[in-house]
Amino acid sequence: MGNAAKETISSNPSLVSEPQHALRVVDSGHITDDRKIPTDHLIKVCLYRQGSKCCKYIVFSDIKQDFCCIKRLPTMKNFIDIERGMSAKGDNCMGLPDAKN
């Protein structure tokens, strides 16, 4: 489990217990380190585990072992945009890197 996940668990145990609440991906190098979501952003902007307000572009990268943003990756973003069965519906910022609220 990545640093963001560990930090989230230790400081906010009610928010996350395991990364199963995010779409898990085994990426082939498309998710770069600058797409890792800082813990503060994950909680305050992405609204992780906060129902339909939670950002739909959060994934848990098995390679990075951390929560990542795929909003600015067109192929992955398009997959999420057409998926209708997700409970997360949020689109809360411009996406990482360079996210602006």
Which two structure tokens, joined as six digits, stand for 4?
Answer: 């963001």
> Which of 52, 48, 60, 58 lies closest to 15, judged by CA?
48
Closest CA to 88 of 45, 42, 47, 55: 55
For residue 88, tell me if it sits in a domain: no
Residues 55-80 pLDDT 10s: 999 998 888 888 999 999 888 888 88
| CA pair distance 73, 53, nearest whole angstrom | 21
90 found inside a domain:
no
The pTM of the full predicted model, rounded to 2 decimals, is: 0.74
Cα–chain center distance at 52: 14
Mean per-residue pLDDT of the chain? 78
User: How confident is the model at residue 76, as a pLDDT?
Assistant: 85
User: Could you tell me the residue range of the domain that residue 43 belongs to?
Assistant: 3-82
Residue 95, domain member (yes or no): no
| Beta strands per DSSP E along the chain | 23-25, 58-61, 66-69
Specify the number of domains making up the chain: 1
Asked if residue 97 belongs to a domain, the reply is no
Give domain status of residue 87, yes or no.
no
- SS3 at position 43: helix
